[in-house]
Every structure is written in structure tokens, then in C-alpha cells.
Amino acid sequence: MKLKSETQDQDLSIYIHWPFCKSKCPYCDFMSVPKTDPKEYDEVEFLLLKDLVASLQELEISSVRTIFFGGGTPSLMSVRSISKILNFITKNYKTDSDIEISLEANPATFSKQKLKEIKEAGVNRLSLGIQSFLDKNLRFLGRIYNSEQALKAAETVAKMFSNYSFDFIYGYQSQTINDLQKDLTKAVDFGCPHISCYQLTFEQGTPFFQSLQNGKIKQIAEAQEVEFFKHIQNFLKKFSFNRYEISNYALKNFESKHNLGYWRYQNYLGVGPSAHSRLAFNNQKYELKKFSDINKWKSYLYENLSTYEEKNPLTDYEQLEEIFIMGLRLSEGISIKNLRSRFSENILNPIWKKIDYLFDENLLEKSQTQIKLSEIGTLKQNSIVEFLFN
């Protein structure tokens, strides 16, 4: 299958999923397996490149705009493997002159030397999963490092990279506003240009969800969630951080280009076990998903078979819903012009009526060009999308 001609001039983003971590965090529902076997690492690294080559051969693309190594804990990958993947892409495909190449890292999984080699391999943006700089909160979150290690890792990244992000989790029992203030202050003191603050959620199937069901831990009150959210926004605003997405704050020109591609509903290819894609084939947008079972993903690659478990054509209505799910997360909102050029009025009319209602309720803002969440609506994004499409 080939990308339809209308999208050949668009840049493609590529996501590489590394499935292993040293230890599974109790809140994590991503596809990751706690393993440290070097032989299995070597095998999966070889197969990731094989999967990438096979997946790209199905596509016609003009250039690659971003590459993102996620997981799992991709800082566990060998530099050799990262280098091979990047060399294949850059030698066989046109890349943007300002291509963003990101890698997620856990503070306990790299040395200063390895980080230096990762940068030399071509990675130019580091996303460091700090979560907290405080020992009591790191213990609660099940992280495998302490405050001292987190500070050392942050210092190393800040000295080595100009473009990097610190990720934090907020909104749980053991955390106070003062704790949050300390974490954010340290990030600002390091000169961090991008900060992600994700509210703790209790996803089904995780140990934290089970503990919530058993009453061992409790979810904080909604009023407290709002207090945390507003504190983050107000504090970072003082230091010229713009909240460009519900959970993401950046200094000017340091927004994550890769993640903006998701939120703006651009084409992206996911490679590796459980990786998702949104691609257009023969004038039809598809949702694609790789096998989640690592062994099945491996066996299909060894047999030179497609590793896609699902290839689902998306209806116009499903695409519209996804555009709102992703686009309303952005502070810039959704372009009305793009909606009208992409969808028929028959599909849009019922949505316009609901948008008018939400505007009257001060949950949405709208202009001649954009639809976006109001300040109050930002705290109710999931409910707003559910109302629009159910």
C-alpha cells in the first residue's frame, strides 16, 4: 500500500517503541516489560530495525520531520542500535533540516558517557522522566532511583542538551503544593526549556488501580486537582513558560514537534510491539496497530510477515472525533477552516450545535478561525469530547 498522493508532500513522524524497562511502575499502563537480559535486548534491537525497514517500504513519503524513541525505557537501548536506526532513516529518506530526534530516559538507566554517545548518534532532544525530585514521592510512585540520582541525571542532561524536557507526575496523596513547588523550582533552576506535568491517573489493570479498588490508596479530591493544575500554570507563567497543551509547558520554540504532530492529527508511523500509526492509504485514513504480544511480533518478523495486528479504516465521523480528542488538548485549538475543508456539513452540523451550547456554558471559546477550550473547559476536556460525540 502507498500513501495517497494528497499526503505525499507532508512530512512523516516516526515513533520507535522500546518495550523493556528495569522495573514496571505501579501507575503505568503502557506496553512495557521489566527485563534486563542483554541477549533479548540485542534481539529486539535487531528486530526493531527490521520492522522499521519493512514498515517504511509500504509508504511513499516526502520527508521525515521527527523521530521519537519511546517506551518502556529507551535509554536502555544500546547506542549502536540507536545509531543504526537513525543512519537508516537519514541515508534513505529526506529529513527536515531542523529534524527533532527525541529519546525518553529514566534517571537510573544512563551514565554521562552513554548520554554523550546518544547525542553523538544524532539524538538532539532528551525527555527525562524525573516524576519528582523528592524521595518520599519517588517511593510512592515506585521509581527505581532516589532524589540524589534524579538531581545528578537532571544536571547531566541540562549540561549536555540545549533541547530537553523534565516530566513530572502530580496529584496524589503523599504530595503537597509545597512538594510540587520544590520540583518545579528545581526544573526552572536547571534552565529546563520544556516541562511536562501529568496528573496521576488510575488506569485499569495497573497495581495502583487495584490499590484504589482495595482502598489502600485514595484519589485526591477534584478541588485539589484543580488547585495543583492552576498552581503549575501560574508558577511556570512567571518564568515565560507557555502552556501549549493541557499537560505541557515550553519556553518559546521549545515545544515538542513530535507530539504536536499527534495533536494536530498529522501522519505518523509507529514501529515496535504495540505501536500505533495514523496513515492514509489510497484516499483512506487508517488506524494501524502492531502486535502487542512481543513473541508474536518477533515471529512475524522472522517469517517476513506484516507485524500489523490491526488495520482499521476510519470513517469521517471517527476521524472528526479523533481530531477533537487530540486538537482540544492544544491551547491553539482546532482550525475551523481545516474542519470545513475536510468534512461535509452533514457531519459537522450536529457538532456545531453542541459547540454553540458549550460556548454558551463558557466551556469552549470560538472565533472566526478557531475552536478551543476555555480555562474552565481545560479541566473538563474528556467530558466535553464525550458530550460532543455521544
335-356 tens-digit pLDDT? 999 999 999 999 999 999 999 9
Are 101 and 65 within 8 A, CB to CB? Answer: no
For β-strands 268-271 and 164-170, DSSP reports them as unpaired
Going by pLDDT thresholds of 50, 70 and 90, the confidence category of residue 97 is confident
Q: What does the block give as the cell for 157? A: 542532561
Mean pLDDT of 66-95: 97
Q: What does the block give as the cell for 2? A: 502507498
Q: What does the block give as the cell for 283? A: 484516499
The yes-or-no verdict on residue 239 having pLDDT over 50 is: yes
Shared domain for 256 and 335, answered yes or no, is no
Shared domain for 209 and 70, answered yes or no, is yes
Fill in the DSSP letter of residue 193. S
Mean pLDDT of 241-246: 98
Q: How far apart are CA 286 and CA 284, in angstroms?
A: 6
SS3 content of the chain, % helix, strand, coil (to 5): 45, 25, 30
Q: How far apart are CA 123 and CA 370, in angstroms?
A: 34
Are 159 and 119 within 8 A, CB to CB? Answer: no
The yes-or-no verdict on residue 3 having pLDDT over 80 is: no
Residues ≥6 apart with Cβ < 8 Å to 6: 280, 283
Shared domain for 254 and 352, answered yes or no, is no
Q: Is residue 267 in some structural domain?
A: no
Domain boundary among 223, 241, 262: 262
Q: What does the block give as the cell for 61? A: 513519503
pTM for this model (two decimals): 0.95
Q: Count up the domains in the chain and report the number.
A: 2
The yes-or-no verdict on residue 7 having pLDDT over 50 is: no
Q: Is residue 281 in some structural domain?
A: no
The CB density around residue 269, as the number of other CB atoms within 10 Å, is 22
Q: Is residue 358 in some structural domain?
A: yes
The yes-or-no verdict on residue 63 having pLDDT over 50 is: yes
Q: Range of 332's domain? A: 316-390
Which is it for the CA torsion 168, 170, 176, 178, positive or negative? positive
Shared domain for 249 and 347, answered yes or no, is no
Q: How far apart are CA 262 and CA 273, in angstroms?
A: 19
